Amino acid sequence: MNFVTHLECADCARNYPAGQPHNLCTECHRPLWVRYDLDRVREQCPRESLAGRPGDLWRYRELLPYADGANIVSLGETATPILTAARLGAELGLAHLQIKDESRLPTGSFKARGMAMAITMANELGIRRVACPTAGNAGGAMAAYASRAGMESFVFMPDDTPVINMKETHLAGAQVFRVNGLINDCGRLVGEGREPMGWFDLSTLKEPYRIEGKKTMGLELAEQLGWELPDVILYPTGGGTGLIGMWKAFAELESIGWLPSGKRPRMIACQSEGCAPIVRAFEAGEKHAPPFENAHTVASGLRVPVAVGDFMILNAVRESGGCAVTAPESCISVWMERLAKLEGLVICPETAICMGALDQLLAGGAIRPSESVLVFNTGGAMKYPDLIEEPVRRLKPGQAPDWQAIAEG
């Protein structure tokens, strides 16, 4: 059963009919929300209706946009675990620290959620050719789901995108193009190619359904925690779809009575000092974020100098009582190693930025030691081999190990 009523511009509130392909609002060129008949969902779908459903993102079908389950394009999107980081929490002075590990999803990152939904809706709407820009994991995810659906896919990547992302995307069947520029330059090329190539633009927030897929992070998190959300969520923020999607999920869950009213988390948007347009706009009290000049960070998912949904990110952060903060590039390798050695968690560099931000917020008193804190790990460290040090101890042929030296570290 489908509960979608219409689509609505997130800025000017113009309405658009459901069941048709849409990109940005044709009036103000801003992203569209998918709207549901939440009163009907509340009446017909008690929380208990989830019992017995498969443990995947599709279990929340009343709050998802597809109309026909036969159109679902899936690679087996299971719920991702929430892991308690007790030792790290003790070191930081936090009683309740958890990590939600999105690297367990197909294609190794949270991008699977958004692309699974976007490709499902493209499939339902009869679209057979898709394109997107990416500086990291989105390209591989789109290519994999497009191939699963039998669609053609085209991906444009900045020239300094990690090679493993390029190889993954190519292996999954996309035509891959390396661009001398940043992700916004790649996005411009995708837009220019729409008419001559006839593809549908799946850029971040330039179509309405990736956000609905990312929204499942919030739906799933709420259910996993027994419908009681943490006090604080830290989220690595590039295009911001995940943060926006979670905030939408929490609002919808409140509306249908699955979450208590007024108990949402403070949302913390985390960016690198090398590319921090949202932080600058937040600190300046602006609605939109001017392009960030000379953007640079090894956390490629955060290298987004201008985001079409900037005002949506800022609205969510401000409405939640949260903030947007930066952490230095130098903290990335430190936190990747620290999490791995202390908790056995191999986090991506984007999440390392969140950990650096958490450290600063604790030191400044913006997060209290008694609060429950959850950090999203949006991808796996193994997609960034250049950021991982090689083993330094090598044994030559026939060389006996020096066991005493090894024991002493």
Res. 86: pLDDT tops 90: yes
Structure tokens at 233: 């969520």
Q: What is the reported pLDDT for 388?
A: 85
HEC profile for 189-215? Answer: HHHHHHHHHCCEECCCCCCCCHHHHHC
Distance CA 242, CA 239 (A): 8
Q: What is the pLDDT of residues 230-265, one digit of tens each?
A: 999 999 999 999 999 999 999 999 999 999 998 999
Q: What is the reported pLDDT for 389?
A: 82
Distance CA 407, CA 251 (A): 54
- The answer to whether domain 82-107+210-387 has CATH 3.40.50.1100 is yes
* Cβ 290 vs Cβ 276: under 8 Å: no
First to last CA, the chain: 60
Q: What is the pLDDT of residues 177-186, one digit of tens each?
A: 999 998 999 9
State the helix-helix crossing angle for 349-364 and 331-343, rounded to 10 degrees: 90
Distance CA 271, CA 43 (A): 40
Q: Please report, rounded to a whole number, the percentage of residues in the chain having pLDDT higher than 90.
A: 91
User: pTM score, two decimals?
Assistant: 0.95
Res. 393: pLDDT tops 80: no
Which band of pLDDT confidence, cut at 50, 70 and 90, is reported for residue 361? Answer: very high
Q: What is the reported pLDDT for 241?
A: 95
Average pLDDT, the chain: 96
- Give Dmax over CA atoms of the chain in angstroms: 74
